[in-house]
């Protein structure tokens, strides 16, 4: 049987932006008939396909890819962080695993404030105080035990091999390690792994070997999650944390549990969306925005037109106020999910949107009242139509930049996703409220949005992306590009993006996303549109469309069964199928 793979390349990005909005520049999606894996690192995608070929299902492949990315994509792939998995089983049941980090038992609401109540710069993003209790190992093992078919040893073997024997670095891997070099050089154990002697960075063609990580993964393979949560790995992390002023305790690890939740669902123009519930804001806010947009003829208004962008921005503005002020960990706060995903509520929002004038964000400020680029998403579907969408993260690129000596495991800085101080923007500009305040064992609010869409009882699309607060709008825009604008899955992912998150009251756009005429029209409506130079790469979406590469092809019949697309913004990702 033939294997098909295409790697995301920077050259393709340049081409796709340069020719937008004609969008003919995107390469064809990867086509396959039996299974598809799309991830941010080509070796991990191939691991997933190998698992599918040997009879594993999509959940098995998701577990193996999760472990493999922890080795070959250290900027965001992880066992020292956490994430979410949305699953759609072949008969249509959907479920959701929350294995995101929890705040340590010794955490406090004001732990990142100084004596004057001001935020201590860097305290929630660097070093051990920034680390939330990791959930990835427990999450991947829970998925395997409940929904997988292969043994833990089989699913961990490829990751152990890459860690022990090493893997050859290509351009994207080297660029990623180079970007993290400064952060990683601050921690002796991290520098010893990810930098060469003398602090030099790796070069293309060199091999990265991670023996300590291989030993940690082997111990997890042999002893299960207890090796991580109850054994030597937890001991090593707690010891390193204490030595560096952190607050992680063995009890934090011993008490960690995974939550199985119902995905948030909504219907958009006849398509059934299943996405992440709180503690993610992703599914709720995607549904809220889609419900508002359903009242506008986006297909007629056209991709990138001033009218389309205006209504998208206004829907985003209203939805992000709700996100930032009202959502949080469901074990700690009452989330108004029903209200925010109600069509009647969307109608109320539409009634507040002027067709001619930009809204004003500060007028929406609730009474009393961040995130990072480096998360990663992968999408998988198998020969039986079991579909899995996983987004998991260390939060910032390489997380907190620390590795507990002897473990080889990079640790997250997920604590920065909490509200350090209500009303103050976090590192990534999100102004959040009390619902997301720090409390022991609480999970910080996320934007991660692993999403599976069905139509007429069959899987239609698997989609998600990294991108901090922009995860939501990246995922949303890919969905409307396919459903409303008729793009194929690769074009939909590659198309230039816009983003608004209530505060700051600015419409951010990728370079070339909007024409000069469109910018003029938006400016006349009162929108402040800017290119955000601090975000050179807006996410790396990974998607699969089922039954054809476009809605038109699906409706006509005869398209390829699985059509995979890795974002052309990604430098080492791949869609691989068989
Ligand atoms: N740390 C990114 C997110 O969870 O949204």
395 Cβ closer than 6 Å to some ligand 1 atom:
yes
Which of 269, 323, 322, 261 has the alpha carbon at shortest distance from 293?
A: 269
Out of 375, 475, 478, 550, pick the active-site residue. Answer: 375
In order of their start, the domains of the chain are 53-260+393-436 (no CATH), 262-372+448-577 (3.60.20.40)
Nearest atom in ligand 1 to 391's CA: 4
* Residues forming a β-bridge with 116: none
376 Cβ closer than 6 Å to some ligand 1 atom:
no
Which of 263, 212, 547 has the alpha carbon at shortest distance from 388?
A: 263
Find how far residue 241's CA is from the centre of its chain: 26
- Residue 408 near residue 216 (C-beta atoms within 8 A): yes
Pairing of strands 410-411, 264-268: unpaired
Residue nearest atom 3 of ligand 1, based on CA coordinates: 446
Tokens of 402: 């620390």
Q: What angle do CA 383, 462, 496 make, to 5 degrees?
A: 140
Tokens of 389: 């969408």
DSSP 56-70: --HHHHHHHHHHHHH
Distances (CA, A) of 440 to 102, 208, 239, 329: 8, 37, 20, 12
- Centre of ligand 1 to C-alpha 242, Å, is 25
Three-state DSSP string of 234-273: HHHHHHHHHHCCCCCCHHHHHCCCCEEECCEEEEECCEEE
Q: What is the pLDDT of residue 19?
A: 38
Other beta carbons less than 10 A from residue 44's beta carbon: 30
76 Cβ closer than 6 Å to some ligand 1 atom:
no
- Centre of ligand 1 to C-alpha 273, Å, is 20
- Centre of ligand 1 to C-alpha 446, Å, is 4
Which of 46, 80, 82, 64 has the alpha carbon at shortest distance from 156?
A: 64
Binding residues for L-glutamate: 100, 393-395, 417, 446-447, 468
Tokens of 470: 């922009």
Distances (CA, A) of 194 to 207, 393, 407: 11, 18, 14
CB under 8 Å to 371, separation ≥6 — which residues? 395, 416, 417, 426, 427, 428, 430, 446, 447, 468, 469, 471
Distances (CA, A) of 42 to 225, 510, 513: 27, 25, 28
Residues in the chain: 578
Nearest atom in ligand 1 to 471's CA: 5
Pocket test for ligand 1, best of 101, 395, 539 (most atoms within 8 A of CB): 395
Residue nearest atom 1 of ligand 1, based on CA coordinates: 395
Question: Alpha-carbon distance 281 to 391, whole Å?
Answer: 13
Question: Alpha-carbon distance 380 to 388, whole Å?
Answer: 5
CA atoms in the 13 A half-sphere facing the CB of 188: 4
Tokens of 449: 């949005």
Burial class (CB within 10 angstroms; exposed 0-12, middle 13-18, buried 19+) of 153: exposed
Q: What is the pLDDT of residue 497?
A: 96
Pocket test for ligand 1, best of 139, 328, 391, 417 (most atoms within 8 A of CB): 417
Other beta carbons less than 10 A from residue 270's beta carbon: 8
- Centre of ligand 1 to C-alpha 448, Å, is 6
Question: Alpha-carbon distance 97 to 390, whole Å?
Answer: 9
- Centre of ligand 1 to C-alpha 418, Å, is 10
446 Cβ closer than 6 Å to some ligand 1 atom:
yes
Question: Alpha-carbon distance 360 to 355, whole Å?
Answer: 14
Question: Catalytic annotation on 375?
Answer: yes
Residue nearest atom 4 of ligand 1, based on CA coordinates: 446
SS3 16: helix
Task: Identify the residue whose tokens are 């700690």.
Answer: 332
- Centre of ligand 1 to C-alpha 423, Å, is 19
Q: What is the pLDDT of residue 24?
A: 53
Helical spans, DSSP H, in 95-210: 136-147, 152-165, 171-185, 188-194
468 Cβ closer than 6 Å to some ligand 1 atom:
yes
314 Cβ closer than 6 Å to some ligand 1 atom:
no
Nearest atom in ligand 1 to 414's CA: 1
98 Cβ closer than 6 Å to some ligand 1 atom:
no
412 Cβ closer than 6 Å to some ligand 1 atom:
no
- Residue 527 near residue 310 (C-beta atoms within 8 A): yes
- Residue 265 near residue 274 (C-beta atoms within 8 A): yes
Binding residues: 100, 393-395, 417, 446-447, 468
- Residue 54 near residue 40 (C-beta atoms within 8 A): no
- Centre of ligand 1 to C-alpha 283, Å, is 13
3-state helix, strand, coil in the chain (%, to 5): 40, 20, 45
Tell me the pLDDT of the chain (578 aa) as tens digits: 334 444 443 333 333 333 344 445 799 999 999 999 999 999 999 999 999 999 999 999 999 999 999 999 999 999 999 999 999 999 999 999 999 999 999 999 999 999 999 999 999 999 999 999 999 999 999 999 999 999 999 999 999 999 999 999 999 999 999 999 999 999 999 999 999 999 999 999 999 999 999 999 999 999 999 999 999 999 999 999 999 999 999 999 999 999 999 999 999 999 999 999 999 999 999 999 999 999 999 999 999 999 999 999 999 999 999 999 899 999 999 999 999 999 999 999 999 999 999 999 988 877 644 334 579 999 999 999 999 999 999 999 999 999 999 999 999 999 999 998 877 776 666 778 889 999 999 999 999 999 999 999 999 999 999 999 999 999 999 999 999 999 999 999 999 999 999 989 999 999 999 999 999 999 999 999 999 877 778 899 999 999 999 999 999 999 999 999 999 999 899 999 99
Question: Alpha-carbon distance 301 to 191, whole Å?
Answer: 52
Find how far residue 115's CA is from the centre of its chain: 35
Q: What is the pLDDT of residue 25?
A: 75
Tokens of 243: 């030595």
**From the CA atom positions of the chain, what is the Rg in Å?**
22
Pocket test for ligand 1, best of 393, 412, 451 (most atoms within 8 A of CB): 393
Q: What angle do CA 427, 428, 429 make, to 5 degrees?
A: 100
Nearest atom in ligand 1 to 100's CA: 4
- Centre of ligand 1 to C-alpha 320, Å, is 15
448 Cβ closer than 6 Å to some ligand 1 atom:
yes
Question: Alpha-carbon distance 503 to 418, whole Å?
Answer: 17
371 Cβ closer than 6 Å to some ligand 1 atom:
yes
- Residue 474 near residue 287 (C-beta atoms within 8 A): no
473 Cβ closer than 6 Å to some ligand 1 atom:
no
């Amino acid at each position: 049987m033939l294997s098909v793979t295409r790697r995301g390349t920077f050259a393709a990005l340049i081409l796709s932006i340069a020719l937008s909005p004609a969008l003919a520049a995107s390469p064809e999606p990867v086509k396959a008939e039996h299974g598809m894996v799309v991830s941010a690192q080509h070796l991990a995608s191939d691991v997933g396909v190998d698992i599918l070929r040997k009879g594993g299902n999509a959940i098995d492949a998701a577990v193996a890819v999760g472990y493999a990315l922890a080795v070959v994509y250290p900027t965001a792939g992880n066992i020292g962080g956490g994430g979410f998995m949305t699953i759609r089983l072949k008969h249509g049941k959907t479920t959701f695993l929350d294995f995101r980090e929890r705040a340590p038992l010794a955490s406090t609401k004001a732990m990142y404030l100084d004596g004057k109540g001001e935020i201590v710069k860097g305290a929630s993003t660097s070093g051990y105080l920034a680390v939330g209790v990791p959930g990835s190992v427990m999450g991947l093992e829970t998925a395997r035990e409940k929904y997988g078919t292969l043994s833990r040893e089989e699913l961990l073997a490829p990751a152990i091999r890459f860690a022990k024997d090493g893997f050859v670095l290509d351009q994207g891997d080297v660029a990623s390690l180079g970007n993290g070099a400064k952060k990683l050089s601050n921690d002796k154990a991290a520098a010893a792994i990810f930098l060469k002697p003398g602090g030099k960075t790796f070069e293309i063609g060199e091999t990265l070997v991670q023996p300590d990580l291989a030993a940690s993964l082997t111990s997890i393979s042999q002893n299960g999650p207890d090796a991580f949560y109850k054994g030597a790995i937890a001991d090593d992390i707690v010891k390193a944390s204490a030595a560096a002023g952190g607050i992680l305790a063995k009890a934090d690890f011993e008490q960690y549990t995974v939550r199985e939740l119902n995905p948030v669902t909504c219907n958009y123009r006849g398509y059934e969306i299943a996405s992440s519930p709180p503690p993610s804001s992703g599914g709720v806010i995607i549904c809220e925005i889609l419900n508002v947009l359903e009242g506008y003829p986006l297909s007629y208004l056209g991709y990138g037109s001033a009218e389309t962008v205006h209504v998208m921005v206004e829907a985003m503005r209203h939805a992000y106020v709700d996100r930032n002020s009202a959502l949080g960990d469901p074990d700690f706060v009452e989330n108004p999910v029903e209200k925010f995903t109600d069509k009647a509520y969307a109608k109320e929002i539409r009634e507040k949107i002027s067709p001619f004038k930009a809204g004003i964000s500060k007028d929406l400020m609730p009474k009393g009242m961040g995130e990072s680029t480096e998360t990663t998403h992968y999408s998988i579907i198998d020969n039986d139509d079991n579909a899995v969408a996983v987004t998991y993260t260390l939060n910032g690129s390489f997380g907190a930049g620390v590795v507990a000596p002897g473990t080889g495991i990079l640790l997250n800085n997920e604590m920065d996703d909490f509200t350090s101080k209500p009303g103050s923007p976090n590192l990534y500009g999100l102004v959040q409220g009390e619902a997301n305040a720090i409390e022991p064992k609480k999970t910080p609010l996320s934007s991660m949005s692993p999403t599976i869409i069905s139509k007429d009882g069959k899987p239609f699309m698997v989609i998600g992306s990294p991108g901090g607060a922009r995860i939501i709008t990246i995922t949303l825009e890919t969905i409307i590009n396919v459903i409303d604008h008729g793009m194929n899955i690769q074009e939909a992912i590659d198309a230039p993006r816009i983003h608004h998150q209530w505060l700051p009251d600015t419409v951010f756009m990728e370079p070339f996303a909007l024409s000069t005429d469109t910018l003029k029209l938006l400016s006349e409506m009162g929108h402040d549109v800017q290119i955000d130079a601090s975000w050179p790469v807006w996410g790396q979406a990974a998607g699969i469309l089922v039954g054809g590469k476009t809605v038109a092809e699906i409706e006509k019949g005869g398209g390829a069964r699985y059509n995979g697309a890795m974002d052309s913004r990604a430098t080492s990702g791949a869609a691989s199928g068989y």
